[in-house]
Amino acid sequence: MINIKIIKDQFSLKFIFAALCFMGILFISVIPVNAKSGDKLVVFHAGSLAVPFRALKQAFNKIYPDLQIQLEAAGSRTCARKITDLDRPCDVMASADYSVIENLLIPEYADWNISFATNEMAIMYMPDSPYSKEINKDNWYKILLKKDVEYGHSDPNSDPCGYRTLLTWQLAEKYYQTPGLNRDLLKGCPMRNVRPKETDLIGMLEAGQIDYLFIYRSVCEQHKMPFVLLPENISLKSVEHQSFYKSAMVRITGKKPGDFIKKTGKPMVYGITMPKSAPNPGAAVKFISFVVGKKGQEIMKKNGQPPISPPAATGNLDKLPLPLTKLVGINQ
């Protein structure tokens, strides 16, 4: 006699298996290639991108709720060295200076680079900082050089904001026609007031360990802190002043111990890339497409960082994924 129960059980199992397969197909069509349920996307990014990238993560997860996104903030050069020196797995790297990707990652560790946002230098302070009622774009350097004032900046060898601060000081000496100003600003900022990334210093500012902090305008706005907006001639914001910016130069560490890179002043441009060794390239392309696309640009703008429209791609463009080629302009 034929066992009807066994037939029913077998039919049920086949039906369940078919249903699961169908659901799997639907799932694959929604989540990028190599991004299965429970997979994660690892993003190394500049400290100044912490707030907008949290917002980007939240918006992206509404589209791909099963993808775990791990954000890790550090100085942009430190982010790059996690890839080159420490072999840390990473799917996306976003830098506060596009040239960090050009200098430290391309061509060995990445193929291409997309410029997607801008920024400018500012000086953050607390409402009760000494001389906070007096400081402005014309006298800030006089305030900072007073004996009872402490100011800080990030490490130039770890973070673009650090070497941009030093470039700003050089430009300020010329702009305000004050010989020796750069030397005096360097001398007046002890190493105890220097940290790996600019956002590390916000806690020191809030605790009263320093009174003023050289940082990006976007970070000031994101944290709703008072700040001095510097003249565009020295804030590294404007393409109109790029010839003057070029008159400033600093040396920072290069790819190998003992190597150095010259950094000249230029308008600020943020860059984003996918390392060649990305464990989850499908999800990485989706995330980068979101960042440089319309919704991502809106989020960047809302967080005080004007987007570059259209984003500009450089590097080995033959390796640029097709979804990204539709979103960017090409810089030869």
CATH number of the domain enclosing 232 = 3.40.190.10
75 lies in some domain: yes
Shared domain check, 195 and 125:
yes
Shared domain check, 64 and 53:
yes
Shared domain check, 178 and 240:
yes
- Structural domain harbouring 309: 31-118+269-330
pLDDT digits (tens, 9 = 90+) for 129-139: 999 999 999 99
The last residue of a domain, from among 218, 240, 264: 264
Domain count within the chain = 2
12 lies in some domain: no
Shared domain check, 142 and 238:
yes
Shared domain check, 300 and 252:
no
pLDDT digits (tens, 9 = 90+) for 9-56: 433 434 333 443 444 433 333 334 444 545 899 999 999 999 999 999
Shared domain check, 162 and 227:
yes
* pLDDT at residue 97 tops 90: yes
Shared domain check, 309 and 326:
yes
- For the chain, the three-class secondary structure string (H helix, E strand, C coil) is CCCHHHHHHHHHHHHHHHHHHHHHHHHHHHCCCCCCCCCEEEEEEEHHHHHHHHHHHHHHHHHCCCCEEEEEEECHHHHHHHHHCCCCCCCEEEECCHHHHHHHCCCCCECEEEEEECCCEEEEECCCCCCCCCCCCCCHHHHHCCCCCCEEEECCCCCHHHHHHHHHHHHHHHHCCCCCHHHHHHHCCCHHHEECCCCHHHHHHHCCCCCEEEEEHHHHHHCCCCEEECCCCCCCCCHHHHHHHCCCEEEEECCCCCCEEEEECCCCCEEEECECCCCCHHHHHHHHHHHHCHHHHHHHHHCCCCEEEEEEEEECHHHCCHHHHCCCEECC
Shared domain check, 56 and 35:
yes
pTM greater than 0.95 (yes/no): no
